Amino acid sequence: MAGALLLVSACGSASDKYVTNKSAGVYVRLPDGWSQARVQEPLLIGLDARQLSPEMYSLLRQIDWLTGIDASGNEKPDVFNPAAQQPNGFIQVRQLLPEEAKSISTNDLRDLVVPIDQSQAAQDELVRKDPVSARLQPAFLLILEESVKKANGVHGVHLVYQLSTSTGLVTFDQTSLLDSQQTVLYQLVMTCTALCYAQYGSSVTSVQHSFTVNPTT
């Protein structure tokens, strides 16, 4: 599954403290001042848009529930902007397409936003060529990787990593989960600059800790 970055904006409110999808059993608690906004168009992270037919895209619009979150409290929050100076991201519940459900594994979840193994291999090659510079200014740094197991067989992975981009060093805090049948994807992904994450990482961690998935069916 190919990873892709996509920036989306939407309209929302800073007064809502909780993000919920009752039918999917998903719940996230936001800190004071954060905003949330429903996003109507599917976020094509983990999908190759070139291989999506109009019919598949239409289907995605029906089976993809997506809400953007933003620490800035803006009425039009950044949904996924790694260059932002405050944490932002999205909560996603998506019924997997039949082709995905047949082949997806827990390891695939690591690569939905950024191809982790490929990025680590590229960093290792940089270290081999120039150990000092590559370690002082890494192109990729995996800070945390841990397995996640929740009730009713929900399982997946939580990652925190830094990536060097054209706009500077950015941090991603990503939880990607599957239901017990591996047919539904649940994601909470947040990002901002590395400096921002150093300042607001505790708030991001509190949001991740509140991420509750309890499938109702």
First to last CA, the chain: 26
Distance CA 183, CA 88 (A): 26
- Kindly state whether residue 27 falls inside one of the protein's structural domains: yes
Q: In what side-by-side order are the strands of the sheet with 168-178?
A: 35-38, 64-70, 88-95, 184-193, 168-178, 155-165, 140-149
User: Per residue of the chain (217 residues), what is the pLDDT tens digit?
Assistant: 333 344 444 444 444 589 999 999 999 999 999 999 888 755 545 444 444 445 444 444 444 788 999 999 887 767 788 999 999 999 999 888 888 888 989 889 998 888 899 999 999 999 999 999 999 899 999 999 999 999 999 999 999 999 998 889 999 999 999 999 999 999 999 999 999 999 999 999 999 999 999 987 6
Distance CA 36, CA 53 (A): 30
Count: domains in the chain: 1
Helix (H, G, I), strand (E, B) or coil at 80: coil
- Kindly state whether residue 11 falls inside one of the protein's structural domains: no
- Kindly state whether residue 9 falls inside one of the protein's structural domains: no
* Strand ranges (E), 63-138: 64-70, 88-95
- Kindly state whether residue 184 falls inside one of the protein's structural domains: yes
- Distances, alpha carbon 150 to alpha carbons 21, 193, 204, in Å: 17, 29, 19
Q: Are 95 and 101 in contact (CB under 8 A)?
A: no
Structural domain for 161, as ranges? 18-213
Q: Are 148 and 157 in contact (CB under 8 A)?
A: yes
| CATH code, domain carrying 137 | 3.40.1000.10
Residues 6+ apart with CB under 8 A from 82: 5, 163, 165, 167, 170, 172, 191, 192, 193
- Kindly state whether residue 7 falls inside one of the protein's structural domains: no
- Kindly state whether residue 77 falls inside one of the protein's structural domains: yes
- Kindly state whether residue 45 falls inside one of the protein's structural domains: yes
Q: What is the pTM of this model?
A: 0.83
The number of angstroms, rounded, from the C-alpha of 129 to the middle of its chain's C-alpha atoms is 31
